[in-house]
Amino acid sequence: MASEEAKIYEQVVRNTVTQKIMETLESGEKTLSELVKAVNELVPEPLDDLIIKLYLSQLEMEGLIEKKDKGGEAAYNVTDKWKSLSSAGKG
């Protein structure tokens, strides 16, 4: 794994919220509300939807997730870039 890719992977897995988002998305496409629910089951005090959107925006800018419109609500998926980073990081 290239140095920059390793750095991105480490940043994701060292942050509890981003790690939970990525783990949740690895099982398939999820809506914003599903991701908010998954993250809020993990943290002691619920995070506002806006905070989760900021995390998602950062992951999208890094090219690790992609966003699409699903009946008026945003839905997210992991990208091939994340799949590659994840398999290299775990292996």
Domain boundaries, the chain: 3-90
The per-residue DSSP string of 6-69 comes to HHHHHHHHHSHHHHHHHHHHHTS-EEHHHHHHHHHTTSSSPPPHHHHHHHHHHHHHTTSEEEEE
Instruction: Give 10-residue mean pLDDT values along the chain (91 residues).
Output: 74 84 95 94 91 95 92 91 84 58
The CATH code of the domain at 3-90 is 1.10.10.10
**pTM of structure:** 0.86
Looking at residue 2, its pLDDT comes to 65
